Amino acid sequence: MISCPHKKSIRKGITFITILLFVIPMLLSLKIQNTYAEDKCKNISDKDDQTECYENLEKETQAKLSSTKSKLDNTLNSINQLSSQLNVTQAQLNDVQSDINDIKEELDQINSVLEDRNNKLSEKITFRNNLLRNYSKKNVVNDLELFFSSNKETNLSGFQTATFIYAFNKATSGNILKIIGALNSEIRNYEKNKEESEEIKKDLEIAQNNLISLKKDLDARKANAQSEANKLEEQKTEYEEKLEELQSKILSLKYGDESGSVGDYESPSSKTPSPPFDNAFAAFSYGAYTHYNGMSQYGAKGRAEDEKSYKDIIKFYYGESVKEKDDFPEKICVEGYGNMSFQKYLYGIAEMPSSWDEDALKAQAVAARSYAYKRTKGGGCICTTQSCQVFSKSKSDNPPGSWKKAVDNTENEIIGGDTGKSGYGWYSSTTGGYLNQAGWDLDGKWPGQAYEKKAGSPWFYKAWYTKSYSDSSTCGHSHPWLTEEEMADIINSWVVYTKGSSSEKSHITPRTESCWGGDPYSLDEMASKADKYGDKYTNVSKVWVDISNSGYTSKVHFQTNNGEVSIDGATFKTVFNLRAPGYVAIRSRLYDLELRD
């Protein structure tokens, strides 16, 4: 028979169980709170609020992972789109790399949070496992055994112990199960987040590798494209060089120096043909084939006819008096003929018609002797073409009487002054009334009173459209006149010449390409190019020029559909000669433009 426990023992047991009922849940709560010692939720006293705080932290982490994954997807799409383009800029690649770096930084922050959570979860996992073990052991001894047992430490009978343990289990089981459930949920969420983080990390590595591959691919494609571009540029340069060579040829032929002096015979007269249409434009050159230095042969003729002596003529054109040399060499080396006396060489000079006035012939003899003296002073031979002076052996053997007399009467006479001076002894047929050293060659007002005009020079005022006097080729344009549309085209060409690219400028060549070749713009194409630069000309109603006191055309003016336009004289001459059809050309720096209705 079991005796009833002493009242004092019963009170002691009740106190112990009571302590357990209140202390153990408190210990459990403290244990859980300590695991979140570093969390922002640790100071929340209310357990439900604290649980909500942890749930919100979990949602924030999940939201960051979702946002990071979305950014990564966008970055991968950007790389795919750029992969199909060739004109990807470095700035675009830098933007993608910056996005990758930002995503990596965000992922590192997330992983840092997850790592911190992992460290705390290790404590929670241990705690959970202990709870599970203890909870599973709470019924290792069955209720019947507990009922018939006694506890010496508490002086409780088995019945009392079973009663109190039942009460304790009932009080604590709910909390323990709730804690275990919360821990399991947190562990599962951590493992899910960690797995998603690892997937993002792998995709991020893929994105970085794809970007590196894209850069390499773009570099290779750009290198190939650059290689092709270089080849095209070389072809373009070669093409432009050919066109520039053609332009040089055009300018050389249209400027020309084939007939720089009068020659041995009177030059034929030249009459400008009438325009074959209304509103016709033409360029008239004053003089041609001249270097503007030394003596004008037609000017000398005009001065001689005006009763000026050969010494006056030499003085005007060279600024020096005639002088006689005592030590003049007796012989001169003539290319192709060897040495001969100076007088015999001069007998063969074929640079002025023998029918001209005596003083003009004497001035020519002094000029020719001076030039030959300077040319052979240092030794060597003198050539027999216009590159030096035209020499005729047959004329030398049988000189015309008037020419022989002019040479004999000026024997040993040359131009005084420095023989080393540039232009010493030079001369040309017609300068247009102006020379570099002498200035205006006039007997009154220019152009009507110019000595060259008085002497009847066919080159004094001429509209050129043939290749030369000796070659009457016209290259399909048998007059010097341009239509209003063609004149407007010249102005449009000037726009392209001054504002266009080198490639565009290379297309400024005569449209009569059957003679010149090349790849000229059509009238419409040239107008379109000019329009691109804001200056398209279609109508020209008036034209006039400004003549400089220094003997050149300084400005050309037009009244057009765009109002008045003024062009530098030298530039206009170049553009006109490049674009005008056939052999239509301006052949001197001093020129005029005419409009005939």
* pLDDT tens string 435-475: 999 999 999 999 999 999 999 999 999 999 998 877 888 88
Q: Residue ranges of the alpha helices (H) in 377-467?
A: 393-397, 401-409, 451-454
- Which is higher by pLDDT, 246 or 544? 544
Q: What is the pLDDT of residue 420?
A: 82
Q: What is the pLDDT of residue 269?
A: 72
Pick from 201-205, 237-241, 477-481: least confident? 237-241
Q: Is the pLDDT score of 13 beyond 50?
A: no
Tokens of 353: 């018609």
- Residue 338's pLDDT band (cuts 50, 70, 90): very high
Contacts of residue 472, Cβ cutoff 8 Å, sequence gap at least 6: 466
Q: What is the pLDDT of residue 3?
A: 45
Q: 3-state SS string over 79-131?
A: HHHHHCCCCCCHHHHHHHHHHHHHHHHHHHHHHHHHHHHHHHHHHHHHHHHHH
Contacts of residue 532, Cβ cutoff 8 Å, sequence gap at least 6: none
Contact in structure between 337 and 382 (CB atoms under 8 Å): no
Contact in structure between 479 and 273 (CB atoms under 8 Å): yes
- Best-predicted range by mean pLDDT (43-52, 63-72, 232-241, 301-310): 301-310
Compute and round to an integer the Cα radius of gyration of the chain. Answer: 55
Q: Is the pLDDT score of 234 beyond 70?
A: no
Q: What is the pLDDT of residue 25?
A: 47
Q: What is the pLDDT of residue 83?
A: 67
d(CA 77, CA 64): 20
Q: In what order do the strands lie in the sheet with 540-547?
A: 540-547, 553-560, 563-568
d(CA 545, CA 439): 20
- Residue 133's pLDDT band (cuts 50, 70, 90): low
Q: What is the pLDDT of residue 157?
A: 56
Domain extents in the chain: 7-237, 290-454, 472-596
Q: Is the pLDDT score of 21 beyond 50?
A: no
Please work out, in degrees rounded to the nearest 5, the angle formed at the alpha carbon of residue 502 by the alpha carbons of 501 and 505. 85
Q: What is the pLDDT of residue 146?
A: 46
- Residue 22's pLDDT band (cuts 50, 70, 90): very low
Q: Is the pLDDT score of 26 beyond 70?
A: no
Q: 3-state SS string over 261-276?
A: CCCCCCCCCCCCCCCC
Encode burial over 227-255: b for 16+ CB neighbours within 10 A, e otherwise: eeeeeeeeeeeeebeebeebbeebeebbb
Q: What is the pLDDT of residue 403?
A: 98
Q: Is the pLDDT score of 310 beyond 70?
A: yes
Q: What is the pLDDT of residue 175?
A: 60
97-121 average pLDDT score: 74
506-523 average pLDDT score: 88
Which residue shows structure tokens 């009080």?
171
- Residue 340's pLDDT band (cuts 50, 70, 90): very high
Q: Is the pLDDT score of 527 beyond 50?
A: yes
- Which is higher by pLDDT, 103 or 35? 103
Q: Is the pLDDT score of 23 beyond 60?
A: no
Q: How far is CA 334 from its chain centroid?
A: 55
209-234 average pLDDT score: 72
Q: Is the pLDDT score of 405 beyond 50?
A: yes
Percent of the chain, pLDDT > 70? 74
Percent of the chain, pLDDT > 90? 46
Q: What is the pLDDT of residue 389?
A: 94
Pick from 101-110, 192-201, 247-256, 374-383: least confident? 247-256
Q: What is the pLDDT of residue 8?
A: 46
Q: What is the pLDDT of residue 236?
A: 59
Q: Is the pLDDT score of 345 beyond 70?
A: yes
Contact in structure between 289 and 459 (CB atoms under 8 Å): yes
91-107 average pLDDT score: 78
Q: Which residues pair with 567 in a beta bridge?
A: 556
Pick from 60-69, 257-266, 363-372: least confident? 257-266
Mean pLDDT of all residues in the chain?
Answer: 81
Q: What is the pLDDT of residue 141?
A: 46
Contact in structure between 500 and 575 (CB atoms under 8 Å): no
Contact in structure between 35 and 120 (CB atoms under 8 Å): yes
Q: Is the pLDDT score of 353 beyond 90?
A: yes
- Report the sign of the C-alpha dihedral through residues 532, 538, 542, 547, in that order: positive
* pLDDT tens string 556-588: 999 999 999 999 999 999 999 999 999 999 999
- Which is higher by pLDDT, 342 or 30? 342
d(CA 422, CA 90): 60
CA distances from 333 to 336, 341, 425 (A): 9, 9, 18
Q: Is the pLDDT score of 86 beyond 70?
A: no
291-315 average pLDDT score: 97
- Backbone phi, psi, residue 128, to 5°: -60, -45
Q: Is the pLDDT score of 167 beyond 90?
A: no
